[in-house]
Amino acid sequence: MGSFSLAFAATAALSLQQVVAGRGPPDADWHWHKGPDSEKPSVSVASTWPFALDVCKFGGAVHNSAVLVGGTNNSASPVAAFTSGQFADTQGQVAWDSVNSQVVRVTVNTSSSFVGARFSSDAADRFYGVWEYPWDDQLDNAGIEFELKGVGDSEGVNWANARAPFFFSNAGYGVYADTLQMGSYNFSVPGTAEFIFNTSSLAYYVILPDRPGDLKSILSAYAELSSTIEMPPDSGYGPTFWSDNFEEDFHGSVSNAQENYYDVINHLYYNQIRATSMFADRPYGTGNYSYGNFDFDPVYYPTPENFIQNLSDWGFDFQVWVANRAFLDTELYNASLANGWLFPGIDGEVFRGPALNLSIPEAYEYFKQHLSYFPSVGVKGYKIDRGEEGEMPVFEQNVQMGLFIQLCYETMVEKWGESNFFDFARSVVDRSRSKTNVWNGDAHSNYTGFAYSVTSGIRSGLMGFSTWSSDTGGYIREEEDPAEDLWARWMWFSTFSPVYEIPIGTNHTPWYPPYTSDLVEVLKESANMHHDLFPYIKSYTYQAHKTGIPVMRAAFLEAPYDEKTFDMTDAYYFGSELFVAPIITAENQRSVYFPEGTKHLEYFNKSFVFEGGSSASVEMDVHYIPAYVRAGAIVPRGDIYQGNNKWTKDWKPELTIELYPSKEVPWSSFVYYNGDTKQEVPITMKTSHYSGQVDVDYGPVGIGGKIVLFAKNGVHNATLHAGGGSASFNEVESLFDD
Ligand SMILES: *[C@@H]1O[C@H](CO)[C@@H](O)[C@H](O)[C@H]1NC(C)=O
Ligand SMILES: *[C@@H]1O[C@H](CO)[C@@H](O)[C@H](O)[C@H]1NC(C)=O
Ligand SMILES: *[C@@H]1O[C@H](CO)[C@@H](O)[C@H](O)[C@H]1NC(C)=O
Ligand SMILES: *[C@@H]1O[C@H](CO)[C@@H](O)[C@H](O)[C@H]1NC(C)=O
Ligand SMILES: *[C@@H]1O[C@H](CO)[C@@H](O)[C@H](O)[C@H]1NC(C)=O
Ligand SMILES: *[C@@H]1O[C@H](CO)[C@@H](O)[C@H](O)[C@H]1NC(C)=O
Ligand SMILES: *[C@@H]1O[C@H](CO)[C@@H](O)[C@H](O)[C@H]1NC(C)=O
Ligand SMILES: *[C@@H]1O[C@H](CO)[C@@H](O)[C@H](O)[C@H]1NC(C)=O
Ligand SMILES: *[C@@H]1O[C@H](CO)[C@@H](O)[C@H](O)[C@H]1NC(C)=O
Ligand SMILES: *[C@@H]1O[C@H](CO)[C@@H](O)[C@H](O)[C@H]1NC(C)=O
Ligand SMILES: *[C@@H]1O[C@H](CO)[C@@H](O)[C@H](O)[C@H]1NC(C)=O
């Protein structure tokens, strides 16, 4: 046998237990990989590559048409014998085996410097993943060829840089290349995905769905191989207020940064606007460009420890900006220069300053020790900036960012413990998602930046970076930005984002001119609604932590059978109950396409129902966002985290379970996450098709409150018991049914 390959009968059920383990070239002792049933699998062995599995609901197939090997990143070619249609791996470079019933691992070991692979399928197939940045405001990667590195100044958003060596296709498979080495992806040929990495040894995984068409299960299998997010603290979901410069823009009697925060606290208090944390972007310390001496500048922060304690007493966690970057003449720079830790050839005289090579253990230890000052005075997380601005060689970006995020995480977790602090970064690669959350970089403060941010949030979710936010109103501002209408629309988008964070200050604060009291109203409505959705968001964040399926979901994840959702960049499911279609233009209206498979009820007025598969033109002023709840939904809400609510006397948590029954949905459920017991608590609803009776059952949700059922014949209420219980409602006339 001089060559071999394998192919499955087209009728084969989706079962990778049938995949053989192989190593080329096979010898006489070639044996089948043992499946769980220890049976010799019934596969037909063909004599030709490609590695092809006919598994997909959409008529496509996994077609690993080439393994690429070469001496440079643009000279890699298919391993020799593929060219003749035969797989004669004479050097024994390629091997594969099945990891489980969903996953095949291919390992390539060569003496060449670059290794990659090509997958070809139907020209109409789409590829998702790899980069958060949405390129030409695209959800998929059609036509894109770029490295797996940070994207710089770009249309819409600068530095939207979460990324992962993982893509999946709507044809029903995914591919994960498990490496932090620099590489590139090329989707320029329709129906073809190609990648190449700067490594001579690479393992990549071909991932199939659990059931045909179940794209979510591809994300879950990838998450299992890679990582999932850590649960954030309750204070991490926001609203979070921050400024690029609390050292200026003083109002009233304010004379330093500390007092500027108090001014924010007081305005939130008097307007009764909910919030959970604040952070200081640069500047806040001494030294060149205010960072690198591991301190607070006493001119602006005369009593940092008391200040942070005071914020905490008022219900706010506090975070600070950090980066792996040594500005000239700072402690960080001097120590690194003396010890040879700085990446060579990058001029410390220029603003950028070089990064430390954190692969050097002493550099890592030094940085970590010194950064620990911040948690020691009460700081509960970092905004982790940069890592892709030229401060290190490009080929180090992925490795170094992983190390820096790890270092930051360690300083915090050692002081506060898991899930008790909130880090977030813009340049996050693959497994680092378990060590930091993500914000989408510097969005432009206009409708282009807003539209791109919505798409980047959806794309982030498609790689399992679930706990995500954008700078509400945008970051890159012209003098008069953000315009009031843009800011209001973006506030509502942040209501329906996993995290609500909003930059203020430097002449852009909602309660100071030129902004009107109407904007303060929108801020209050949108911030308080985000807070009220916390039980819902936290439950779905737990699902993301467990399974990798994000809170903010591309519509096609919920409606994979509806092709019209495949490139839906301007609407998404938030969890699986709510469908959100932000207004991302200066008009007061937009067209909304409702995915097939369910009816959607307008969530604010609860008066209009939209059929799946239909479009509607919806009009809305800035006090609302087009948001819809699906037939049969269960939506837990309520005020269960106090944060800055010091204005309610004897505040206590209260949970509300909203029910939206439909006769067409006889049974539905919601998995509520009880943060105190750390348990998943099922809530189920049964709706009788004939009698109009609705029965709800629930486990120990931990917090009492009420059950509220929305129907045509009014709002029906019942008591919600903390320890669990049930309730029945009679003669319900569903809002969804005629
Ligand atoms: C690839 O090479 C590495 C290092 O020599 C070795 O540990 C590994 O087992 C090899 N893998 C395969 C599949 O040959
Ligand atoms: C090859 O590497 C160089 C240097 O990092 C980079 O500029 C180029 O885009 C890479 N090309 C490919 C195909 O990855
Ligand atoms: C991407 O693939 C196309 C088609 O093979 C090729 O022309 C192009 O040079 C590739 N791009 C890069 C950056 O290698
Ligand atoms: C603590 O914070 C409050 C909140 O606004 C502020 O009014 C007060 O002056 C601060 N106390 C101290 C001692 O700084
Ligand atoms: C930082 O150092 C550079 C280079 O010496 C200098 O030009 C700049 O003025 C310094 N900036 C600050 C804020 O100290
Ligand atoms: C770093 O070294 C420079 C030059 O020797 C010196 O001026 C500066 O004060 C040092 N910085 C710190 C924080 O020690
Ligand atoms: C970074 O440090 C590691 C460990 O010392 C070293 O192997 C590597 O070459 C360094 N990278 C660069 C670009 O200097
Ligand atoms: C590949 O990585 C090596 C270090 O391992 C580096 O010297 C080289 O420049 C990289 N090549 C490219 C094209 O990035
Ligand atoms: C949005 O802002 C960016 C950055 O300032 C700018 O390049 C772009 O032209 C703006 N777009 C619109 C539509 O104004
Ligand atoms: C709800 O009704 C009010 C009053 O008629 C209207 O102004 C608003 O636009 C409606 N909101 C939605 C979300 O339909
Ligand atoms: C039922 O709950 C709704 C929503 O919380 C509330 O507006 C209404 O007053 C309640 N009705 C009764 C009878 O308690």
DSSP character string of 449-496: HHHHHHHHHHHHHTTT--SEE-BTT-SB--TTPSPHHHHHHHHHHHHT
Q: Answer whether 182 contacts ligand 8 (Cβ < 6 A).
A: yes
Q: Answer whether 326 contacts ligand 5 (Cβ < 6 A).
A: no
d(CA 317, CA 311): 7
Give the nearest ligand 2 atom to 395 CA. 5
> Quick one: pLDDT band at residue 211, thresholds 50, 70, 90?
confident
Q: Is the model's pLDDT at 10 over the cut of 50?
A: no
Q: What is the mean pLDDT of the chain?
A: 90
Do 555 and 527 fall into the same domain? no
Do 656 and 721 fall into the same domain? yes
Cα separations (Å) of 585 from 166, 326, 397, 487, 588? 32, 40, 35, 12, 8
d(CA 632, CA 663): 8
Question: What percent of the chain has a predicted confidence (pLDDT) above 70?
Answer: 90
Number of domains into which the chain is organized:
4
Interior CA angle at 354 toward 350 and 360, to 5°? 165
Lowest-confidence region among 100-114, 123-137, 523-537, 640-654 = 100-114
Do 160 and 241 fall into the same domain? no
Is 10 among the domain residues?
no
> Of 186, 208, 224, which residue constitutes the final position of a domain?
224
Which residue in this structure is represented by tokens 């989408």? 440
- Write the pLDDT tens digit of every residue in 446-493: 999 999 999 999 999 999 999 999 999 999 998 889 999 999 999 999
Q: Answer whether 71 contacts ligand 2 (Cβ < 6 A).
A: no
Q: CB-based contacts of 213: which residues, under 8 Å, 6+ apart?
A: 57, 58, 172, 560, 561
Do 147 and 173 fall into the same domain? yes
CA-proximal residue: ligand 6, atom 13 (nearest): 331
Check which CATH number belongs to the domain holding 103 and give it: 2.60.40.1760
Residue 465 Cα to ligand 7 middle (Å) = 29
Residue 318, strand partner residues: 278
Question: What percent of the chain has a predicted confidence (pLDDT) above 90?
Answer: 81
Interior CA angle at 668 toward 663 and 673, to 5°? 150
- Residue whose CB lies within 8 A of the most ligand 3 atoms, among 120, 184, 186, for a mutation test: 186
| pLDDT for residue 24 | 32
Is 7 among the domain residues?
no
> Of 618, 649, 668, which residue constitutes the final position of a domain?
618
Q: Which residue has the higher pLDDT, 105 or 545?
A: 545
Do 520 and 644 fall into the same domain? no
- Residue whose CB lies within 8 A of the most ligand 4 atoms, among 258, 310, 314, 644, for a mutation test: 310
- Residue whose CB lies within 8 A of the most ligand 8 atoms, among 114, 149, 182, for a mutation test: 182
Residue 201: give the domain boundaries. 40-224
| pLDDT for residue 475 | 97
- Write the pLDDT tens digit of every residue in 635-688: 999 999 999 999 999 999 999 999 999 999 999 999 999 999 999 999 999 999
Do 203 and 108 fall into the same domain? yes
Q: At what angle do helices 215-225 and 534-547 cross, to 10 degrees?
A: 70
The three-state (H, E, C) secondary structure of 100-120, written as one string: ECCEEEEEEECCCCEEEEEEE
Is 416 among the domain residues?
no
What are the two backbone dihedrals, phi and then psi, of residue 356, each rounded to the nearest 5 degrees? -80, 145
Do 139 and 81 fall into the same domain? yes
State the Rg of the chain over Cα.
Answer: 27
| pLDDT for residue 61 | 62
Mean pLDDT of 404-419: 98
Q: Residue 123 corresponds to which tokens in the numbers above?
A: 């020209």
> Of 590, 618, 646, which residue constitutes the final position of a domain?
618
| pLDDT for residue 351 | 66
Residue 717 Cα to ligand 11 middle (Å) = 6
| pLDDT for residue 41 | 27
Q: How many residues does the chain have?
A: 738
Give the nearest ligand 2 atom to 186 CA. 13
Lowest-confidence region among 71-85, 179-193, 332-346, 418-432 = 71-85
Is 27 among the domain residues?
no
Three-class SS of residue 128? strand
Mean pLDDT of 53-63: 49
Give the strand order in the sheet containing 173-177: 22-23, 94-100, 103-109, 201-207, 173-177, 163-169, 127-131
> CB within 6 Å of ligand 3 — which residues?
74, 145, 184, 186, 188-189
Q: Is the model's pLDDT at 500 over the cut of 70?
A: yes
Is 352 among the domain residues?
no
Give the strand order in the sheet containing 705-711: 633-639, 654-660, 705-711, 714-720
| Burial call 607-637: b when 16+ CB within 10 Å, e when fewer | eebbebeeebebebebebbbbbbbbbbbbbb
| pLDDT for residue 25 | 28
Residue 341 Cα to ligand 6 middle (Å) = 17
d(CA 97, CA 205): 10
d(CA 709, CA 711): 6
| pLDDT for residue 104 | 85
Closest ligand, as measured to the CA of 395? 8
Check which CATH number belongs to the domain holding 701 and give it: 2.60.40.1180
- Residue whose CB lies within 8 A of the most ligand 7 atoms, among 182, 336, 356, 360, for a mutation test: 360
CA-proximal residue: ligand 10, atom 8 (nearest): 620
Q: Which residue has the higher pLDDT, 14 or 170?
A: 170
| pLDDT for residue 77 | 81
| pLDDT for residue 349 | 82
Burial class (CB in 10 A: 0-12, 13-18, 19+), 123: exposed
| pLDDT for residue 88 | 52
Cα separations (Å) of 646 from 269, 420, 591, 643? 8, 22, 41, 8
Q: CB-based contacts of 375: which residues, under 8 Å, 6+ apart?
A: 411, 412, 414, 415, 416, 421
Contact 425, 384 (CB under 8 A): yes
Give the nearest ligand 4 atom to 261 CA. 5
Q: Answer whether 604 contacts ligand 10 (Cβ < 6 A).
A: yes
> Quick one: pLDDT band at residue 92, thresholds 50, 70, 90?
low
Do 293 and 427 fall into the same domain? yes
> Quick one: pLDDT band at residue 738, thresholds 50, 70, 90?
confident
Is 735 among the domain residues?
no
Is 484 among the domain residues?
yes
Query: Closest Cα partner for 694 from 671, 721, 713, 677?
Result: 713
Query: Closest Cα partner for 333 from 249, 391, 413?
Result: 391
| pLDDT for residue 49 | 44
Contact 694, 661 (CB under 8 A): yes
Contact 24, 109 (CB under 8 A): no
Is 453 among the domain residues?
yes
> Quick one: pLDDT band at residue 30, thresholds 50, 70, 90?
very low
Do 268 and 153 fall into the same domain? no
Single-letter amino acid, residue 598? T
- Write the pLDDT tens digit of every residue in 590-599: 999 999 999 9
Do 649 and 531 fall into the same domain? no
CA-proximal residue: ligand 4, atom 10 (nearest): 310
| pTM of the model as a whole | 0.93
Query: Closest Cα partner for 465 from 127, 207, 161?
Result: 161
Check which CATH number belongs to the domain holding 402 and give it: 3.20.20.80
Q: Is the model's pLDDT at 40 over the cut of 90?
A: no
Residue 728, strand partner residues: 695
| pLDDT for residue 380 | 98
CA-proximal residue: ligand 8, atom 7 (nearest): 395
Q: Is the model's pLDDT at 626 over the cut of 50?
A: yes
- Residue whose CB lies within 8 A of the most ligand 7 atoms, among 324, 359, 404, for a mutation test: 359
CA-proximal residue: ligand 10, atom 5 (nearest): 605
Residue 490 Cα to ligand 9 middle (Å) = 16
Contact 306, 338 (CB under 8 A): no
Do 52 and 176 fall into the same domain? yes
Closest ligand, as measured to the CA of 184? 2
CA-proximal residue: ligand 1, atom 8 (nearest): 109
| Burial call 437-446: b when 16+ CB within 10 Å, e when fewer | bbbbbbbbbb
Three-class SS of residue 308? helix
Do 383 and 451 fall into the same domain? yes
